[in-house]
Amino acid sequence: MIAVIDYGAGNLQSVVKAFHYIGCDVHVTADKEELKNASAAVLPGVGAFGDAMGCLKKNDFVNPVLDFIESGKPFFGICLGLQLLFEESEETPGISGLGVLKGKILKIPAETGLKIPHIGWNSLSVKENTGLFQNLEPDPYVYFVHSFYLKAENSEVVSSTAEYGVTIDASVQHGNLFATQFHPEKSGKTGLQMLKNFVALIP
């Protein structure tokens, strides 16, 4: 069973519908014991970094999430769910993230002259066709909605990038940990294939 974590700041239904569409059983849960016993977990997220961390703390989900990642079972962070895995964000200075990986979340600079937030389809530069990126066409197009972006400290964990005035670290893969700034559940056949790839990683 895949647990979709309901911590009060996630766009849950579109993620759940996408998994159901590919024939996968997922369960939305706010129960720590159910999360612990799940075979894989998804951390979605919308809104502000600080508010989402506040929800994780208020609902006592920080340690259960960290424990799940430490367990070695597949874990998937989506959009804000990617950002929360890192140390801090310019969106809410002074609020620490989960700090599972090292790096900062930065604001897309207005100096780019591009519309912010970054909303719509953009192509990815994929490092290797492994993990989430198996069986995809080169430079796949995916759907983004964000004003802040990841700058990872360790480039080795970055599995794809995108260009939008700046180079965006668009996804990470590190051991059992997978996360995307873009929304696979809104990225058509390409995104559905990514979700299928994630499901295939579950022992």
Per-residue b/e over 166-184, b at no fewer than 16 CB within 10 Å? Answer: bebbbbbbbebbbbbbbbb
The catalytic residue among 91, 146, 174, 185 is: 185
- Is 49 in contact with 84 (CB distance < 8 Å)? yes
Give the helix/strand (H/E) hosting 35.
Answer: helix 32-37
Cβ within 8 Å of residue 11, ≥6 positions away: 44, 45, 46, 79
The catalytic residue among 118, 146, 174, 183 is: 183
Q: Is 185 one of the annotated active-site residues of the chain? A: yes
The catalytic residue among 79, 88, 118, 174 is: 79
Cβ within 8 Å of residue 67, ≥6 positions away: 36
CB 55: neighbour CB atoms within 10 A?
A: 17
Q: Which of 133, 107, 147, 115 is nearest to 187 (CA)?
A: 133
CB 68: neighbour CB atoms within 10 A?
A: 23
Amino acid identity of residue 27, one-letter, is: H
Q: Is 55 one of the annotated active-site residues of the chain? A: no
CB 76: neighbour CB atoms within 10 A?
A: 26
Rounded to an integer, what distance in angstroms lies between the CA atom of residue 124 and that of residue 29?
A: 31
Q: Is 27 one of the annotated active-site residues of the chain? A: no
- Is 123 in contact with 140 (CB distance < 8 Å)? yes
- Residues designated catalytic: 79, 183, 185
